[in-house]
Amino acid sequence: MRTSQSFGVHFTIKKDKVKDGVTNVYVCITINKDRIHFALKHYVKVENWDKGKGGLKIKVPEAKDTNAYLEQVKFTITTYYQQLQIAGKEVTPQLLKAMFLGEETEETYSLSKLMDYHYDTASAALTWSTLKHYAVTRRYLERFLKEKRNTTDIRIHEIDYKFIIDFETYLRNHKPADHFQPLNNNGVMKHLIRLRKMTTLAFKLQWIHKDPFKNYKFRYKKVETAFLSANELKMLENYQLASDTLEAIRDYFLFACYTGLSFIDLMNLNEGNVVRGEDGEKWLKLFRQKSNEATNLPLLAPALSIMYKYKDNPRSVSLNRIFPTITNQKVNVYLKEIAKIVGIKKKLTFGVARHTFATTITLANNVPIETVSKMMGHTKIATTQIYARVLLKKISEDMHVLREKLEPDAPKRKANRKANTNSHLKRVS
């Protein structure tokens, strides 16, 4: 059901735009509390303007022609308004202005055109890996439109709450040919976030005049990403792998465990990233590809040892890289095989290595979270807290220290209780 609207068109002049006593006539379109002004290519003398009537004073010679022109403008805009109302379309002052001036309106702005515009404007700021994710979302949208609406494109203003819910349902039920399983909940949410970024861009460009995601609630499931314990890390380090390829992948993973680097940052490392720090030790200095944040990272002995191992490798030297390059897809396949061989019951990924650096290597060894955050290239501590959870062992150790501070005789009482228990057991036996 269409709700009633207050609609009006009137004309005015702006005295701050006056030049030599002459200025444009401005149209003011008002719908409810939304208002827009724009200039007509029609000029009048300020002294001849009748503010009360919104036109030229009747006694002015050119009043008849000018006022007739203004009436025609009002009639044209009102006709557009009535046509849109009858068609059940959302009417805004911005839309009426665009229609009157013959500008492109949201009626002609399509989703594909919006995504093309986003790609053209964002490609200089976003990495290829990020742009690639938008391309995947676009393919899903095209498949959804083709299968559910028998089209491959849609006008932006037709994206509403129902469209969002229908697309979400499609993603949850869709079984990609290149995946073993359907998208999980968080995967679905990521595609919807990219769609929301598109509609937000359209809103800022005034291609649409309401946010279709206004009443939509994103629902994330908390995922506990695995990390290696100290024992598992030693198992991985000490295991003798038979394959040179698997050994190299293991080394890449371990290097990430001791530096917190992502796979792409590790692959991009070159000699220029290795610098001498103020402490006289070797550091890594780089900009993270994902966030473009500067990172200064002291190199621990295990990481240095791995780096030196590949220093003269022909494949890395020819590409001016520290490590021979390999695709992330192949690395993930090999890591799965390595975990099985070594006997680690966790799915190994570079995300696991990054978590291991944040927990087992740093926080568990009392490195402050602020320092960990800086080394991981995070802009907010909250981001680090997601990666770097506090281990149960660390909680136990911290509380033991606190208990001794609050209860100085607690260790003595504990020893007495243990002695009494042992004495009781001897008497019973």
Q: How large a percentage of the chain has pLDDT more than 70?
A: 86
Residue 114: what pLDDT? 92
Clarify whether residues 243 and 381 are in a common domain.
Answer: yes
Query: Would the pLDDT of 68 be above 90?
Result: yes
CA count, 13 A, side-chain hemisphere, 263: 18
Clarify whether residues 378 and 322 are in a common domain.
Answer: yes
Phi–psi pair at 25, nearest 5 degrees: -90, 135
Clarify whether residues 267 and 319 are in a common domain.
Answer: yes
From CA 180, how far away is CA 362, in angstroms rounded? 35
Q: What is the pTM of this model?
A: 0.58
Domain that holds residue 419: 394-428
- 426: which DSSP letter? H
User: Position of tokens 């006056």?
Assistant: 18
Residue 3: what pLDDT? 47
Clarify whether residues 249 and 337 are in a common domain.
Answer: yes
Single-letter amino acid code for the residue at 311: K
Clarify whether residues 256 and 378 are in a common domain.
Answer: yes
SS3 content of the chain, % helix, strand, coil (to 5): 55, 10, 35
Residue 240 in any domain: the answer is yes
pLDDT-derived band of residue 106, with 50, 70 and 90 as boundaries? Answer: low
Single-letter amino acid code for the residue at 306: I
> 322-377 pLDDT, tens per residue?
999 888 888 988 999 999 999 999 889 888 998 899 888 888 887 888 888 878 77
Clarify whether residues 273 and 361 are in a common domain.
Answer: yes
Clarify whether residues 160 and 251 are in a common domain.
Answer: no
Residue 311 in any domain: the answer is yes
Sheet hosting strand 282-287, strand order edge to edge: 274-276, 282-287, 294-298
Residue 209 in any domain: the answer is no
Clarify whether residues 311 and 380 are in a common domain.
Answer: yes
Single-letter amino acid code for the residue at 418: K
Clarify whether residues 124 and 14 are in a common domain.
Answer: no
Residue 224 in any domain: the answer is no
Residue 171: count of CB within 10 angstroms of its CB? 23
pLDDT-derived band of residue 217, with 50, 70 and 90 as boundaries? Answer: very high
Clarify whether residues 122 and 80 are in a common domain.
Answer: no
Average pLDDT of the chain? 85
> pLDDT higher for 421 or 142?
142
Residue 212 in any domain: the answer is no
- Whether residue 109 contacts residue 163, with contact meaning beta carbons closer than 8 Å, is answered with no
Indicate the range of 22-31, 70-79, 187-196, 293-302 predicted with least confidence. Answer: 293-302
Residue 411: count of CB within 10 angstroms of its CB? 12
pLDDT-derived band of residue 127, with 50, 70 and 90 as boundaries? Answer: confident
For the CA atoms of the chain, what is the radius of gyration?
Answer: 33
Q: What is the CATH number of the domain that holds 382?
A: 1.10.443.10
From CA 269, how far away is CA 377, in angstroms rounded? 15
- Whether residue 122 contacts residue 131, with contact meaning beta carbons closer than 8 Å, is answered with yes
Clarify whether residues 241 and 361 are in a common domain.
Answer: yes
Clarify whether residues 235 and 383 are in a common domain.
Answer: yes
Query: Would the pLDDT of 49 be above 70?
Result: yes
Residue 416 in any domain: the answer is yes
Q: Provide the β-strand partners of residue 348.
A: none
Query: Would the pLDDT of 22 be above 60?
Result: yes
From CA 263, how far away is CA 266, in angstroms rounded? 5
Residue 191: what pLDDT? 95
User: Position of tokens 């994330």?
Assistant: 220
User: Position of tokens 């993270």?
Assistant: 288
pLDDT-derived band of residue 180, with 50, 70 and 90 as boundaries? Answer: low
Report how many domains make up the chain.
4
Domain C-terminal end among 82, 101, 120: 101
Domain C-terminal end among 38, 69, 101: 101
Residue 211 in any domain: the answer is no
Residue 214 in any domain: the answer is no
Q: Which CA distances in Å does 231 have to 224, 238, 341, 361?
A: 20, 11, 16, 12
> 380-423 pLDDT, tens per residue?
766 666 655 555 556 666 777 777 778 766 556 656 665 665 56
Task: Tell me the two tokens of residue 373.
Answer: 């955050």
